Structure 1
Amino acid sequence: MTTFQKPIDSPFGATSTADDVIRGIDLKGKTVLVTGGYSGLGLDAVRVLHGAGAKIIVPARDLAKARNNLALFPDITIDVMDLMDPASVNNFAERFLAANTQLDILINCAGVMAAPLSRDSRGNESQFSTNVLGHFQLTCRLWPALIAATGARVVALSSANHHVETTELLHDPNFRHREYDPWKAYAQSKAACALFAVALDSIGKRHGVRAFSVHPGGIYETGLLRHTPDSLPASFGMIDGEGKPVIDPEKTGFKTVRQGSSTIVWAATSPLLEGKGGVYCADNNIGSQLREGDERTLTGVALNATDPVNAGRLWHLSEELTGSRLD
């Protein structure tokens, strides 16, 4: 159960960068895996975690793109993995476990947003498959390495856009019985990521594994908008009349890539989170718990996205849909 879902006294905030939050943290001897670690927020997180001395592994669906984007880091291990392909996830995990005895930090950063309806080989809707089920299966398969580490952490990427009816998420996550809405599918996948962290933390804390979900902010300069209309960034106020990104972390939540990656890195490494877990983080702090009827905020998390009963139900559903369990 999430008992720590309230802000703490963090020295960092909405304008802090990943370079700020990693300062003074030594990751030598630590092994870090970042899905999506070759573009956008994941790439910037890899940059600073590598700079802190960590051994980095980046699974990639597009090997050529990953090798090009990570060319400045020749010691980073790049290996093929497609989150929508269960066999690919299993094969990657087998190779990882054969080469590594422990995994200190797992950052489930890869994701897709507002994609048109498509399904994986099991029939799961693509956003739920990529953002939720693929990462669930990967985490389960890497569990032996996580519990072998001392104080391992798992970070799941959520979003402020996580406000959905949990009943629909739990009973029809793949839009079999309702009209498909790409934005609703995205929102429910991000609510699921927050619930994943709650459930994983409740299981993992007895093994020293803690889990966190993160809202990084709104970032224009990533590939996440590739499925959205060209007019969307301007209509949302993410870019100005000249097409330049609007950066206003404190009022609108729109951030640079380095500001956006900061909460990911903070959740993965901050000593302020020792002994805590299962919480939703934003702006380099633990987010506030929104109660029913509360106005939505940039850093608040909906009650049904941190509810342990919902988290347990989603965990069991994920087990059924993937056939994966923690060993």
Structure 2
Amino acid sequence: MTTEQKPLQSGFGPETTAKEVLAGQDLSGKVAIVTGGHGGIGLETTRALAGAGATVIVGARDVNKAQEVLAPLKNIEVIRLDLADSSSIDEFAAVFLSSNRALDFLILNAGVSFPPTIKDERGFDTHFATNYLGHFQLTVGLWKALKRSGNARVVALSSIGHMTGPIDFDDLHFSRRPYDKVVSYGESKTACSLFAVELDKRGRENGVRAFAVHPGAILSGLARHLSDEELAGWGVRRNEDGTYTSSGGFKTAEQGAATSVWCAVSPMLNGKGGVYCEDGDIAEAVPADSPLQRGVRSWAIDPVLAEKLWTISEDLLHIPHGTINSLES
């Protein structure tokens, strides 16, 4: 049954933290993977899940740096993962699958925003390739472990940036239209939302449910490639030590991690999936021309577009069509 894109009145909100979402829950025996789980909201997601007893595997490009950051936490493993490198993704999946463990929570958290290089070695748009395609490939690679859980959840981080407009399927990599980094980022996050819609449809019979998440506006390292003038337009000032000061409207990292954790563990979402969530609840569907910095636009949850994107993604990554449905446990 399709889950309504309608708030559940969960009782949580924009100020809720990941720790508050997990209050009273024991995740002992559960296994989670968090990409980019050693910084920003990824770190807070890792900290919250591990603190509740889960074993958390963190995918990180710099293993030494991640191990140093995560050293104070228990139940943590780090495996190298570069979402811009297809071979690295395959190696990560192979290492995890070799442990023969079930995967209960897959949090697709890592991402880039406004990077200096706008295309990768394949000629793919960097936002699209890293934020979306890398996670698509990773999920397919880990499918056996997700099915083995029998009750797994996949959480894909989207963004309110999806409101910039729908995906241009005829020019995914800005080969013909002028490059616009805001549009590029927004389309990659629309793709993440559509991914959750189609993955949920394909996975539900195997006990795999999927959700897209807008974590909220967070001042983190993702803003490092923006100029001071661009930051000023958001009421943000870059400090000499690399931190940021804002005039308001931003969440803390702990608050930003709350919806990811809620989607991963909340009993309220049992039997549900394929929806876009924010502020610890299912988001409201809003009109395409809504000026609100919240809610989800139709093009980010359209099942027809979701299936189309899935097929295109299989082609781009040379994955046989229907692979995710045919893999054996």
TM-score over 0.5 for the pair: yes
Question: What does the per-residue CA deviation read over 1:116-136, in whole Å, with 9 as the maximum and x for residues that have no partner?
Answer: 343333221111111000000
Give the equivalent residue in structure 2 for 1:233: 231
Residues 96-111 of structure 1 correspond to what in structure 2 (within 5 A)?
96-111=96-111
Residues 281-320 of structure 1 correspond to what in structure 2 (within 5 A)?
281-293=277-289, 295-320=290-315
Task: Return the alpha-carbon distance in structure 1 between the equivalents of residues 229 and 31 of structure 2.
Answer: 41
Aligned length: 320
Task: Return the alpha-carbon distance in structure 2 between the equivalents of residues 9 and 63 of structure 1.
Answer: 40
**How many angstroms does 1:9 deviate by?**
1.9
Question: What does the per-residue CA deviation read over 1:195-216, in whole Å, with 9 as the maximum and x for residues that have no partner?
Answer: 0000100101111100000001
Give the equivalent residue in structure 2 for 1:85: 85
Residues 135-214 of structure 1 correspond to what in structure 2 (within 5 A)?
135-166=135-166, 168=168, 170-214=169-213
2:235–2:247: 8 Å Cα contact kept in structure 1?
no
Residues 8-23 of structure 1 correspond to what in structure 2 (within 5 A)?
8-23=8-23
Question: What does the per-residue CA deviation read over 1:270-321, in whole Å, with 9 as the maximum and x for residues that have no partner?
Answer: 111111101100010100011344x232330000110000000000111111
Task: Return the alpha-carbon distance in structure 1 between the equivalents of residues 167 and 36 of structure 2.
Answer: 29
Task: Return the alpha-carbon distance in structure 2 between the equivalents of residues 127 and 238 of structure 1.
Answer: 23
**How many angstroms does 1:241 deviate by?**
11
Residues 53-72 of structure 1 correspond to what in structure 2 (within 5 A)?
53-72=53-72
1:38–1:58: 8 Å Cα contact kept in structure 2?
yes
Q: Do structure 1's residue 279 and structure 2's residue 265 form an aligned pair?
A: no
**How many angstroms does 1:165 deviate by?**
3.9
Tell me whether 63-72 or 205-214 shows the greater mean CA deviation: 63-72
**How many angstroms does 1:240 deviate by?**
10
**How many angstroms does 1:235 deviate by?**
2.1
Task: Return the alpha-carbon distance in structure 1 between the equivalents of residues 318 and 44 of structure 2.
Answer: 33
TM-score using structure 1 length: 0.93
Task: Return the alpha-carbon distance in structure 1 between the equivalents of residues 82 and 183 of structure 2.
Answer: 23
Q: What SS does structure 1 have at the residue aligned with 2:57?
A: strand
Identity of paired residues, percent?
A: 47
Q: What SS does structure 1 have at the residue aligned with 2:160?
A: coil
Against the structure 1 CA distance between its residues 296 and 208, is the aligned structure 2 distance closer, same or farther, given a 3 Å change threshold?
farther
2:42–2:257: 8 Å Cα contact kept in structure 1?
yes
Tell me whether 15-24 or 63-72 shows the greater mean CA deviation: 63-72
Question: What does the per-residue CA deviation read over 1:202-252, in whole Å, with 9 as the maximum and x for residues that have no partner?
Answer: 1011111000000011111x211011112333321245999864485xxx4
Task: Return the alpha-carbon distance in structure 1 between the equivalents of residues 239 and 144 of structure 2.
Answer: 51
Instruction: Give me the CA root mean square deviation.
Output: 1.9
1:204–1:210: 8 Å Cα contact kept in structure 2?
yes
- Structure 2 stretches lacking a partner, 5+ long: none
**How many angstroms does 1:58 deviate by?**
0.6
Against the structure 1 CA distance between its residues 265 and 167, is the aligned structure 2 distance closer, same or farther, given a 3 Å change threshold?
closer
Q: What SS does structure 2 have at the residue aligned with 1:162?
A: helix
Tell me the amino acid that sits aligned with residue 204 of structure 2: K
- Structure 1 stretches lacking a partner, 5+ long: none
Task: Return the alpha-carbon distance in structure 2 between the equivalents of residues 193 and 290 of structure 1.
Answer: 18
Question: What does the per-residue CA deviation read over 1:153-192, in whole Å, with 9 as the maximum and x for residues that have no partner?
Answer: 0000011110244351x22111111111111110000000
